[in-house]
A and B are shown apart, each in its own frame.
Chain A
């Protein structure tokens, strides 16, 4: 099946610093990748949709200058949390779109736990 990886799996950073999270599709090309955020015992909330080679589309309420998304290739998307604050601490999950005839599935990465101190 389609495999999506994320790196790092967890990261601790100091308030005010920036941190980059990578999302890779390992055995397929992903024209579209999605970034989600999940708080404890809460559902996944879509932050943005990125298409290879174009600007990401952010969901309402998500600060695009704070959460920088780059989808430079068909196998890599990055999320950079700039000037991180403790309230940015969360579980970030990426997902890649797999298009096949008559179906449409998303495969998810293992997630990245961000803790801002």
Chain B
């Protein structure tokens, strides 16, 4: 059974700092991995999707990497801004028609 872990549960950083959010998964045989952002009381916004054959994906100030063999993914946020404050969820899909398995998320607070 796939399990996804995100540690720490919460993180507070000053504005402008570069930061890394970690995600680990127990079964390295994955189809893809997706990072989401969730604002309080809202749904999920997809940030980046990495296929199993890829090592990283970039979108603006965000960069996600994937190391299947070690069961890890990282989301790198450059030059953090208060508007980046949200919960960031990592989710893994084991097969093309498999369900997404979510971590509990990391709640990020960027202080002005």
Contact = CB atoms under 8 A, between A and B. Distances in A.
Sorting the interface of chain A by its residue count into under 10, 10 to 19, 20 to 34 or 35 or more gives 20 to 34
A106 B100 contact: yes
Contacts, number: 50
21 contacts: A4-B43, A42-B104, A43-B4, A43-B104, A43-B105, A44-B44, A44-B102, A46-B100, A93-B44, A103-B49, A104-B96, A105-B34, A105-B46, A106-B46, A108-B36, A108-B44, A108-B45, A109-B43, A110-B43, A111-B41, A113-B41
* Chain A interface mostly: strand
B51 interface: yes
A6 B103 contact: no
A104 B32 contact: yes
Contacts of B100: 44, 46, 106
A107 B100 CA distance: 12
Contacts of A49: 99
B93 interface: yes
Interface in A58-117: 91, 93, 95, 102-111, 113
Contact of B51 (A6, A34, A102): A102
Contacts of A34: 99
Sorting the interface of chain B by its residue count into under 10, 10 to 19, 20 to 34 or 35 or more gives 20 to 34
Given A44-B89, A49-B99, A106-B100, A93 B46 contact: no
A105 B48 CA distance: 10
Given A43-B105, A104-B31, A111 B43 contact: yes
Contact of A43 (B32, B46, B49, B103): B103
A86 to B, nearest CB: 19
A102 B4 CA distance: 24
B61 interface: no
